[in-house]
Structure 1
Amino acid sequence: MTSLMIVGADHLGSIPKKLEEMGYANILHISGRKTQMVKRDIPAGVDMILVLTDFINHNLTSVLKKKAMEQDVPVCYAKRSWCSIYKAIGQCQPNCPLSTK
């Protein structure tokens, strides 16, 4: 199983359930709207980060990208639609359960 941190959006609706059905476990969600989020670290054990680009503070995106590179954690970018998320994750991590080979 793979752990995933989703950054952005206030509510995810059915997205976590769809990700779980595809093999993702331990899905962590952080809204990304508040500027204090810049100070948070990436939790240990996160295998991949999904950034929902239409619901995130721009500064947080930059800081998150830098921290992810330091920890060698892949980052995917998508809009908050299942179609966009599915495609982004498949392209970001070729061996993931959502791979679009």
Structure 2
Amino acid sequence: MNAYLVGADVLGNIPDLLTQYGISIHKHVSGRHAAHQRKPASLKGVDLIILFTDFLGHNVMRHYRELANEENIRFVACRRSVCSLSQSLDKVCPRDGCAACPNQKNRR
């Protein structure tokens, strides 16, 4: 599963946590630059958008949420901490991987 991360200048231990969930980072933007604050042209190859709310403005979050809804991509909004991200990911993607994912069972 590929994730598009929005917010935070430094990720710290977050890549290690994402690896535990079987998620790789497709792209990471800080959200500070004007170009990062607009909707990206496309999110091809992205399965999940992670928004770090303590580093983003309301309009930036709105743009990415709208794009996720338009392209049928799941998104998670949380603070930039390993604990907060872990709690949010448990709701979307279990640590056991895709075999235990309730969304995977619905696709068959």
Q: In 2, Cα distance between the equivalents of 1:71 and 1:30?
A: 19
Q: In 1, Cα distance between the equivalents of 2:19 and 2:8?
A: 18
Count of paired positions: 95
Which structure has the highest helix share of the two? 2
Cross-structure match for 1:14: 13
Cross-structure match for 1:98: 95
**Letter paired with 1:10:** D
1:77 and 2:77 are equivalent in the alignment: yes
Cross-structure match for 2:104: none
Identity, % of aligned pairs? Answer: 34
TM-score by length of 1: 0.83
Larger of the two Rg values belongs to structure? 2
Over residues 5-37 of structure 1, what are the superposed CA-to-partner deviations in whole Å (9 max), with x where a residue is unaligned?
Answer: 111000101211221133112442111122322
Q: CA RMSD in A?
A: 1.7
Q: 1:42 to 1:52 in 2, by over 3 A?
A: farther
TM-score by length of 2: 0.78
Q: In 2, Cα distance between the equivalents of 1:90 and 1:27?
A: 20
